Amino acid sequence: MHCELTIRDTFENLTVLYYKGCGAGFKFFGDDPEEYRHYIKQEHLDLVKDMFEREYKDYPVEFMLRFYMHSRCLVFPNGVWMSETAKYPQYLRYRPGSNLSFRVSGVTRFTALTNDASAICIGADPDADEIPLLRRLVHKCEGSSMFMPLSEQSILVPTENCTWGKKDIEAGQPRRAFTDFDELVFEKPGYLIEFVNEEMTLEEELLNYAHQWLSKDIEVFER
């Protein structure tokens, strides 16, 4: 139940907590404060129903109505993880690459179910006077590719050591996007999390969640 490496870093008002190389059984807890609570409502779920009408009957609607937007983005680059929240009868299971921008009220426990698991949590400083809900994108990266951020003002956080243009960026280090288009080289397959200086939209993140649920990257079970 050990973790080989814990990375903590900050950039401007963004903080990073990265657990890397965790053994099966490793646990961490989440209960970050939120300045505002924007809940998923039936009108938002109707959007999912319109797009995935055939699959919607199996969608965990009752559970989703407890979710609200989270100022932080949680990504599981490696391994299989599970989350449990006090007072809720369900637990969730996450496959590699799963990412979350919603949460429910209460302390949530995350447990690594496999060895060599990793989890990275990025978002506004929970001690800041204001906690904005910023838009975020999760890019899957492997080897060499040409990359263009959504904005030159974006903040980028890689899950593996990488080189962008002539700049080396270490895993878990947040950096400002300093160019609009250049070669991105990851030493190992991983993810690049991009925080954009614009407001996160519930509809975009809900559709992202729905796609992950349909692909079974995120699963909901009764305890």
Which pair of tokens denotes residue 216?
């079974």
The CATH number of residue 72's host domain is: 2.60.120.10
Asked whether residue 127 carries a pLDDT value surpassing 90, the answer given is: no
Range of the domain at 134: 3-222
Q: What is the pLDDT of residue 30?
A: 87
Which residue from 82, 110, 118 is spatially nearest to 5, judged by alpha carbons?
A: 118
Percent of the chain residues past pLDDT 70, beyond the cut: 99
Handedness of CA 129, 152, 8, 120 (dihedral sign): positive
The DSSP secondary-structure symbol of 213 reads: H
Count of the separate structural domains present in the chain: 1
**If you average pLDDT over residues 118-132, what whole number do you get?**
89
pLDDT tens for each residue of 44-74: 999 999 998 888 888 888 888 999 999 999 9
* pTM, to two decimals: 0.94
